[in-house]
A and B are shown apart, each in its own frame.
Chain A
Amino acid sequence: MPTSIWRGLLSFGVGAIIWEATARYLDNKLFLVPLGAIFDRFMEMARSGDLAADASVSFIEFIGGFGLAAIVGIGAGIAMSASKRIREFFDPWVSMLYATPTIALGPLFMLALGIGYGSKIALIFLTAVFPILINTVAGLTTTDRVLLEVVRSFGATRMQTYFKVRMPAALPFIIAGLRVAVARALVGVVVAELFGARAGLGFLIFRSAQVFDTAGLWVSVFILAICGVASVEFLKWVEKRMAPWRFQNIEDE
């Protein structure tokens, strides 16, 4: 195994010891509970099937919202990069909505779309779509001029220039956008469920807190954290595989 993984594990190990020590010293079962207790609670919830039910609800919301954001973000990005006029028309909206904490619109979505999947997917979509859209546009409109001149000098058509230069050059940008969007979408899942839900990992946090089940709350937080880290790391890995030249200097150190 590479040393970076060992260091990561060591770091987690130290963190776990500090956690354990603090939990025992504080002895405040409402805030920090020992890791063992969290694990026991996890097994209990897993056996009863509650956890699977909550996780699958959140999973469906996440896939729906994030998937839609990816399709719309990349699609609209391609459209906006194709024409300067379209871009200039939509740019102010994109910039404004990207800067707005759209999560604040959550309650509005509950009112309009109800307490089911629709409102959750809409909110997750809205938090995740802009990084994807913005990166797609940036990737497609900042193509290296030299490379464009190269294909032109070999007599490339507009279509060929698009598919053989602009698209491949934009791919690493798009993946980076997806990476940012995954993290935002996970926050979206939790917040959307806090505003009102019948099930889900975010709702589980809310429900556990109400009945002072701190261990149950931490189970949910840990699962979300693991999902977040895993998907971000996965996209980083994809990015590195697809565009190794962008990481070369950092790796060489």
Chain B
Amino acid sequence: MATKLATRGLGKSFQKDGKAIEALRGLDLDIARGEFVSIVGASGCGKTTFLRLINGLIKPTSGTVTLDGADVSAPGANIAFVFQQDGLFPWRNVLDNTVIGPELQRKDMNEARRTASSFLNLVGLRGFEKHFPHELSGGMKQRVNMARALTAGADVLLMDEPFAALDAQTREIMQAELTRIWRETGKTILFVTHQIDEAVFLSDRVLVFTVRPGRLKEEVTIDLPRPRELTLKRAPQFANYVDHIWQSIEQEVRESIRLETEATLAIAKR
């Protein structure tokens, strides 16, 4: 399979109060075109930092990110973020929120609006073009966010816990919707989540990160048939994957809780 996105020796340190915080270290990853990859790991292990590096929002301290063989140095039209529901502009209606990508890139707006309409259709929001975000439910806002990323013309979608703020039922519906949208558009998707069953259900491959500094602990290829229905979550193989990944990060989560407690105690002592 053709490599869409690759990182080599990718690392990132932040400066905070004169001290360096190493968030990520030495990541070598290859993501295939059209692949759905999830990233799981303890809180604070650098998942968001990883996505921001790939988008070019921040620059790596070491290593490289390449898209189709070319270096990613700044945010561009080829990679788009799907933000959580608070990433919509409250003063713009659904259609105007969706066309922001082409608008910022000074593309032809008539064409952009046509593209946006067809993607709004795809995510199931036909007829909501003139509604404002505050008139939508959380799930609908997330659909707008997806349509916006697709309208930007990106081949790679980065999704940082996009369904975290949704209730359990809506989240499941959105998971099914996302699989459908992914199948119909053939995009490459990098998906960060804390929900292991969500990662297994959606992905071709799940990457487990270690605690900070984030490194690749394990990668699990999910060999479940597609197209997948939500009923798959009750299949025994599904549970096996979830258990396996859970055990893989349990150690890491314990470790991160220990580190956090120590840090809190250190602050409390001062």
Contacts and interface: CB of A to CB of B under 8 A. Distances in A.
B74 A245 contact: no
Interface in A141-183: 144, 146-147, 149-157, 160, 164-165, 168-169, 171
Interface residues of B, number: 24
Given A245-B132, A248-B134, A155 B90 contact: no
B101 interface: yes
Nearest to A172: B91
Interface string A168-205: 11010000000000000000000000000000000000
Given A168-B91, A244-B132, A146 B104 contact: no
A10 interface: no
Interface string A45-62: 000000000000000000
Interface in B211-235: none
A108 interface: no
Contact of A168 (B86, B89, B104): B89
B80 interface: yes
A243 interface: yes
A243 B91 contact: yes
Of A155, A157, A243, most buried by chain B (CB within 10 Å of CB) is A155
Contacts of A160: 104
Contacts, number: 61
A161 to B, nearest CB: 9
Contacts of A156: 104
A242 interface: yes
A155 B81 contact: no
Interface in B63-90: 74-77, 80-81, 83-84, 86-87, 89-90
B169 interface: no
Contact of A155 (B74, B133, B134): B74
B100 interface: yes
Contact of A154 (B86, B91, B101, B134): B101
A201 to B, nearest CB: 38
B57 interface: yes
B242 interface: no
Given A154-B101, A154-B152, A243-B90, A146 B134 contact: no
Contact of B89 (A165, A242, A244): A165
A168 B89 CA distance: 9
A152 B104 CA distance: 10
A155 B77 contact: yes
Interface size class of A (residues with CB under 8 A): 20 to 34
Contacts of A144: 86
Contact of A150 (B87, B91, B103): B87
A44 to B, nearest CB: 49
A245 B141 CA distance: 14
A146 B132 contact: no
Contacts of B75: 152-155
Contacts of B132: 244-245
A248 B74 CA distance: 37
A151 B86 contact: no
B55 A153 contact: yes
B240 interface: no
A242 B80 contact: no
A150 B141 CA distance: 14
A71 to B, nearest CB: 24
Given A150-B83, A154-B100, A154-B104, A244 B76 contact: no
A155 B90 CA distance: 20
Given A147-B87, A165-B89, A153 B133 contact: no
B105 interface: yes
A245 B57 contact: no
A152 B57 contact: yes
23 contacts: A146-B83, A146-B87, A147-B89, A149-B57, A149-B83, A150-B87, A150-B89, A150-B100, A152-B75, A153-B55, A153-B80, A154-B75, A154-B77, A154-B80, A154-B105, A164-B100, A164-B103, A164-B104, A168-B89, A243-B91, A244-B134, A245-B90, A245-B132
Interface of B: 55, 57, 74-77, 80-81, 83-84, 86-87, 89-91, 100-101, 103-105, 132-134, 152
Given A150-B87, A164-B103, 14 more contacts: A147-B89, A149-B87, A150-B81, A151-B100, A153-B75, A154-B152, A155-B74, A155-B76, A156-B104, A157-B104, A160-B104, A245-B133, A245-B134, A248-B134
Please provide the 4 A-B residue pairs with the shortest distance between their CB atoms, ordered closest to farther.
Answer: A245-B134, A245-B90, A153-B81, A155-B75
